[in-house]
Every structure is written in C-alpha cells, then in structure tokens.
Structure 1
Amino acid sequence: MLEIVTIAALSDNYDFLVHDPASGRTALIDAADPAPVLDALSERGWSLDEIWLTHHHWDHIDGAAGIIEATGAKLTGARADQHRLPPLARVVEPGQSFEFAGHEVRVMAADGHTVGHIAYYIESAKALFTADSLMALGCGRLFEGTPEQMWQTLSGFAALPEDTVVYSGHEYTATNARFALTIEPENTALVTRAKAIEAARAEGTPTVPSALSLELATNPFLRAGLAPVKAALGMENAPDAAVFAEIRARKDRF
C-alpha cells in the first residue's frame, strides 16, 4: 500500500510524497520549495525517484531544480505545458497512464486555473492530486481557462469513486468555507464542515487532503448542477456551466 505524506511549503502550499514501501520508490507531486521536501525525505530515510508537476505556476515548480540537484529525481509534466516547465524526462497527456512502483497513475485533464493543468489519479491508493483545480471546498481562480473548461474538469473528478481522497495544492479552506456558506447557508453538512475547519485551523492542523464524498456534499463549485443550488442563485433553468461561472465570479469578488 502506498504511503502519502503531506508537506507544507511556502506560506500556504502543499506538496505530496508518494512512497511505495515494497520497492522503496518515492515520487513527489509538485515542487514548491526544496527545504521541506528534502527534510521530509531525510526524516524517513527515503530517496526520491520522480517529480510529477501539475502546472507551470512558480509556486508549484520553482523548487524542482534544487530537489533534482539533491536527489537526481526525474521530472514528469504535461506536453501542453512543456514550454513553460523545467526540462522534462517524461511528457504526458490527459488520458494517458504510466506506472509507478506497480501502480497505475492516470493523467487527467484539469484545465481552468491554467490551460495545460493536469491531475494525477492513483486508483489503487484512492488518491487524486488536483493542485489548483479542485481544491478543498473550492476551485482555482480561472487565470487562463474558461468556466466551461473548469466545469468539465470538475465534472470529471466528480465521476470518480466517492471514497477518493483529494490532495489539493493550498490551505485556502477556511476562506472557501466562509464563501460556501453564502451560497448554501442551510446546507447542514457544510455548516458542520465549516465548524470543523475553523477548529482545525485554530490548532494549526491542515485541512488537506479531503474526501471527495465531502466535497460533493459541500463544495459549491462541484454542486453547481444541483437544483437547490440553481434555485438559491435564481438560475433554475441555466446550464450547469453558467451556474458554475456565476459562483466563480462571486468568489472572485468575495
């Protein structure tokens, strides 16, 4: 069974180590800062074999060179992003899969926050690494993509098994919870989750990762196609993507 370690980096980023005890192989998802990654590896006595990048933003790639220099890890990233990523040893595209320590890693399209953003799904570990696409109680701001692209991305994630665990890229959950309550103030699951998030952050406990089942029950961006959400926005007959776009616009102004 794979072991997954959440690494806090910079002010609010998360990177993730995926370790296979049987083979000793380890991969890193995104590379914000070398120091916490190298510390986590040293503490566990692990070597690093691979780094999988999700998108080109500096806070997800700027640590890659230092980590590669220290470990010799090989870099994987999206073909569509190749021109703005560090040099890649392996280029992947959505719909492809590759093998890591006997586990299939599925590459999923995650356009919206950026164009060329990808996610990594390991079904055997029930793990989905989404970075800045689907986030805990939120989704990434649309810097490059369209609402339609992000809605398609989120719909693809929503179709995965509900016991999937979502490993997203930032500690934005408390703010996301406050916003979500403006959309569905009567959602009891959301109210309960918001209180739990407030308590966790007061103790300095990360709110990432999160269960996909919980995101489906509380995340307004995943719930844009539901009748109660459309009714709350006065958009009963609007297409799902249009409702998502309205929710995203409200979050941008929040």
Structure 2
Amino acid sequence: MSITVHQFPCLSDNYGFLVRDDASGLAACIDTPDAAVILRELNALGWKLDLILNTHWHPDHAGGNAEIKAATGAHVIGPAEVERIGQAPDRIVAGGDIVALGETRFEVIESGGHTLGHVAYYAPAGDVAFVGDTLFALGCGRLFEGTPQQMWDSLQRLAELPDDTKVYCAHEYTASNARFALSVDDAPALKARAGDIFAARERGEWTVPTTIGLEKATNPFLRAPALAGRMGLSGAPDHEAFAAIRAAKDSFKG
C-alpha cells in the first residue's frame, strides 16, 4: 500500500496538495486554496479526484470547494464549520473518524485552536499528516477562534505522531517563523536549522514538508515547556508558556 503526494504553490504563500492512492488510482485534494490551479494540476497529472478533504473553513482552504466539486464530482469531507463558506460538506468529520481513499486510510485528528473545528488528516501507511494551519514549520497558527489550552492540546496530539511523519502544512511561512524562533530560543539545533532555512529560501526552495521529529526538536511552540524560564514563567502550566510564546509571535516585528 502506497500513496503519492503532489505539492504545488497556490495564491501568495499557500501550498496545494493532491494525494493519490496508488492501489486504486483515486486522488484527494487537501483543501482548495485555488480551484483553477488545482484543476490544472489534476489535468496535467491525469488523476481522478474522488475526495476533497478540508481542514477548516477559511476561504484560502475551502473557497474552491464548489468549483472543484462541479468540475470533478468529488465529495467534500470536512468539519461542520466548513458550512460557513456557504455549503455544508457532503460528509462531516471530527477527531477519531476515518476517511478512506481507495486502500488508504486517513485518521482525522482534532486540531482546533486556529479555528474551533479545525482537523488534520494522518495516513499511517504513508507516514504523512496534512495539518492545515495548526502546525507550521517552526510555527503554529494564530488563535483566531480557539484558546491557548485548545491549541496546546491540538499540538500535543500532533506531537504524538511518529517522529518520521512528514508534515504538510499549508503555507510557506518558515523563514519568518525562523526569525521569531531565534528571538526566543538559542538552542544550537535551532540555529543550525534556521541557517539552512534562510539558505534554502534564498535559492527559492520550499521548506515544506517538515517532520514531527524536527518540529519537536526546534519549534518554539512545541518546546514551550522548555522555554518557560526564558519567558519568565518558570513552573507555569505548559499551555501558559505556549500562550506567552504565541502572544510574542503575534507582536513580533522582525
């Protein structure tokens, strides 16, 4: 059993992802940031789109649902909040559900915080996770709707995945995230990674996907407990240390 992931840039800083179950030939689209680009990529690949898997309701993630569904007949699967863009998913899912794409099984992981009903999709057979705007390379999503406790709990669910899991996040924010990370953490592993990121972006290279193990080692939002002392919060609950780092990022100007 195997899957193929096709990644491509969309809009100003989004990534689009098409996933093919190699046994059946069926494909899924992870979110719909740009319908025209996604349909163009599908046509170039010659893949048959069976599913649209939404992570959350924001227009740069679900705004292309109707156009792509009309063109392909694909079924839309996502959290109930996707109805906020004007049309409910064909199937509503939440944490703990399973979505089948041919022989590939995606585990739905509750990952609210950026939005209340945000979910991620994890395929154990391919060691891949599509995390939307919950976890980024060296970052995490803004808390537009949820609480620090909710987001911290969501990040911990993702951190429990195997370290070699490839993490496909939805935006190319990594260089900006690295500059912030260096302002709150001086770990040698982070400094080395940041240097690699800056060099890669200078060459025009993508920094997505990342891995769970790499994020656990260097991402300040996952390292919040270890950084609590630097934030003046020694002994504070983990979610409070996370909240302090998130607030610092929200006001960071670097």
Could you tell me which residue of structure 2 aligns to residue 89 of structure 1? 90
Return the alpha-carbon distance in structure 2 between the equivalents of residues 70 and 37 of structure 1: 11
Q: Structure 1 unaligned runs (5+)?
A: none
In structure 2, relative to structure 1, the CA distance for the partners of 1:74 and 1:12 (3 Å cut) is: same
Look up the equivalent residue of 1:192 and give its one-letter code: A
Could you tell me which residue of structure 2 aligns to residue 236 of structure 1? 234
- The structural deviation recorded for 1:67 is 1.3
Could you tell me which residue of structure 1 aligns to residue 73 of structure 2? 72
Deviations 1:148-206 (A, max 9, x none): 00000001111111111111111111000000001112x11111111111111112211
Return the alpha-carbon distance in structure 2 between the equivalents of residues 238 and 87 of structure 1: 41
Could you tell me which residue of structure 2 aligns to residue 113 of structure 1? 114
The DSSP-based 3-state class of the residue aligned with 2:249 is helix
Return the alpha-carbon distance in structure 2 between the equivalents of residues 82 and 150 of structure 1: 19
Look up the equivalent residue of 1:103 and give its one-letter code: T
The DSSP-based 3-state class of the residue aligned with 1:88 is coil
- The structural deviation recorded for 1:125 is 0.8
- The structural deviation recorded for 1:101 is 1.4
Identity over aligned residues, as a percent? 48
- The structural deviation recorded for 1:72 is 1.2
Return the alpha-carbon distance in structure 1 between the equivalents of residues 88 and 164 of structure 2: 35
Look up the equivalent residue of 2:243 and give its one-letter code: A
Q: Is the aligned partner of 1:124 residue 2:96?
A: no
The DSSP-based 3-state class of the residue aligned with 2:9 is strand
Could you tell me which residue of structure 2 aligns to residue 155 of structure 1? 156
Return the alpha-carbon distance in structure 1 between the equivalents of residues 94 and 110 of structure 2: 8
Count the aligned residue pairs: 250
The DSSP-based 3-state class of the residue aligned with 2:225 is coil
Look up the equivalent residue of 2:58 and give its one-letter code: H
Q: Structure 2 unaligned runs (5+)?
A: none
Look up the equivalent residue of 1:230 and give its one-letter code: A
Return the alpha-carbon distance in structure 2 between the equivalents of residues 101 and 199 of structure 1: 39
TM-score of the superposed pair, with normalisation by structure 1? 0.95
The DSSP-based 3-state class of the residue aligned with 2:181 is helix
The DSSP-based 3-state class of the residue aligned with 1:231 is coil
2:245 to 244, 247, 250: 247
Instruction: State the 4+ residue runs in structure 1 displaced beyond 2 angstroms.
Output: none
